[in-house]
Amino acid sequence: MTPTLPTIGHLIGGQTVPGGSRSADVFNPATGAAEKRVQLADKLTVEAAIANAQAAYPAWRATPPLKRARVMSNLKVLLEQHADELCALVTAEHGKVLADSLGELQRGIENVEYASYATELLKGEHSKNVGPNIDSWSEFQALGVTAGITPFNFPVMVPLWMWPMAVVCGNTFILKPSERDPSSALRVAELALQAGLPPGVLNVVNGDKEAVDTLLTDPRVKAISFVGSTPIAEYIYSTGCSHGKRVQALGGAKNHAVVMPDADIPNAVSALMGAAYGSCGERCMAIPLVVAVGDATADAVVAGLKTEIAKMKVGPGTQASCDMGPLVTKAHFEKVVGYVDQGVKEGATLVVDGRGIQIAGFEGGYYLGPCLFDNVKPGMVTYQEEIFGPVLGVVRVKTLQEAMDMIDAHEYGNGTCIFTRDGEAARYFSDNILVGMVGVNVPLPVPVAYHSFGGWKRSLFGDLHGYGPDAVRFYTKRKTITQRWPSAGVREGAVFSFPSSR
């Protein structure tokens, strides 16, 4: 522990506060140096955040939705004004190149923008004269205190998938960002206060399992959104549900890109480069597997990738000339290198080996160069497990159906894509594949903010997807009211049959 490092606390009731006797180093992955300490909230600290959120709820719920939404319009402007500062925080703690941090921030801002016109989706449904003098309507009421737990890989964007919509719907919120790169989410929460969000409506607690478990079990928390790895997503879902909460838990992924023999190979190769190695492969929509239909396709794809990889520049995310930064932590770096070692042992052909690279002046950073395997096969650990690093594997198959059967058999079903010029094949693929988000000649089919995001199979626990229209449903409860105002002087006798519109 280095006591002189700046300490990151929590944002509770509109105040930056300390809390918890434990803390953890926050590293700059480009240098490997610990640059900050983040406090890890204990149960009492999280309970203080819940109490603040609970206290802020009645007034916030009673605030007209348009006024709640207007805060998001203000926040959008502030986020744009503070883009450089926020991107610098993301790159300093996550490692991704600045252009990628900006892309992530932009997608987050689009969620804020969508939340700013969500009043349209809160209007409810109305039916007049469902019976004599009877009107009926459904409205969407807030849940109360809600919470979100987010991963390291999109530290500024994923929190913005959650809390802006939750608060526009009238809830209050507690965010628990990743302890590996907590600063940008906290800074955005400060900007939200500046944008006019009342204290206590959004609280941020930094921490680990102790903080998460408090949110999962406290009866005052009514709903939890989670994004992270599948084992933790499953734990969050089962624990939260068993404590009576509404839970959506988005998990891990292993996304396959199918390349058909008729595909525009140079375009497919360019698309695959970004999808496999962008953000060092640390994206839940990254493409770590190419399924090439036919040996000629596979040979062309491998040759194209090899040529493009040779042009890539790896280095600190702050250098504009770099295409790929370091991995997030030393532990994750070692895990990913372990997967490359494993792939070699399992008999996959290592065409490009990114292990052992050194970046002059940044010798302590967690750099792994792009790695490319050919002849990866289902059953290999490198095929089956989520590596979450710059490691792309090529699997050779004979037919589209063989590719699809393989994808369907995989435990994850987050994203997939097909590269082809054949509309019939593309339509058959997108219609039948057991995956939640599908691209046709689009490698990263991440839905825009006004659609919703979510995978199938073990990539999502829960029914509703993240952000977009599903988020309005997730953060509200439907209430249906049936109302009668009998005409003056009309008296009716008792009716004992079940009411119907007969």
Give contact residues for ligand NAD (rule: CB under 6 A): 149-154, 158, 176, 178-179, 208-209, 212, 227-229, 232, 250-253, 284, 386, 388, 414, 455, 459
Q: How crowded is residue 221: how many other Cβ atoms within 10 Å of its Cβ? A: 25
- Per the annotation, the verdict on 284 as an active-site residue is yes
CB-CB contact of 416 with 255 (8 Å): yes
Tokens of 380: 């290999």
- Give me the sheet containing 202-204, strands edge to edge: 15-17, 10-12, 202-204, 172-176, 145-149, 221-227, 246-250, 460-461
Angle at 94 between CA 88 and CA 97, to 5 degrees: 60
In angstroms, the Cα distances linking 337 to 260, 313, 428 are 30, 19, 37
Q: How far is the CB of 231 from ligand NAD (least distance, A)?
A: 7
Q: Name which of 192 and 232 has its Cβ closer to ligand NAD.
A: 232
Q: Name which of 209 and 479 has its Cβ closer to ligand NAD.
A: 209
Beta bridge partners of 258: 291, 418
Lookup result for tokens 């319009």: 73
Q: How many residues appear in the chain?
A: 502
Q: How far is the CB of 229 from ligand NAD (least distance, A)?
A: 3
Q: How far is the CB of 156 from ligand NAD (least distance, A)?
A: 12
Q: Cα 275 to the chain's mean position, in Å?
A: 16
Q: Which residue of this chain has its Cβ atom nearest to ligand NAD in the complex?
A: 228
Q: Name which of 221 and 232 has its Cβ closer to ligand NAD.
A: 232
Pick the catalytic residue: 169, 280, 284, 417?
284
Distance CA 297, CA 397 (A): 10
CB-CB contact of 224 with 46 (8 Å): no
CB-CB contact of 93 with 155 (8 Å): yes
Q: Name which of 98 and 212 has its Cβ closer to ligand NAD.
A: 212
At position 317, the amino acid (one-letter code) is G
Q: How far is the CB of 418 from ligand NAD (least distance, A)?
A: 20
Q: How far is the CB of 462 from ligand NAD (least distance, A)?
A: 11
Q: Name which of 19 and 252 has its Cβ closer to ligand NAD.
A: 252
Catalytic positions are 284
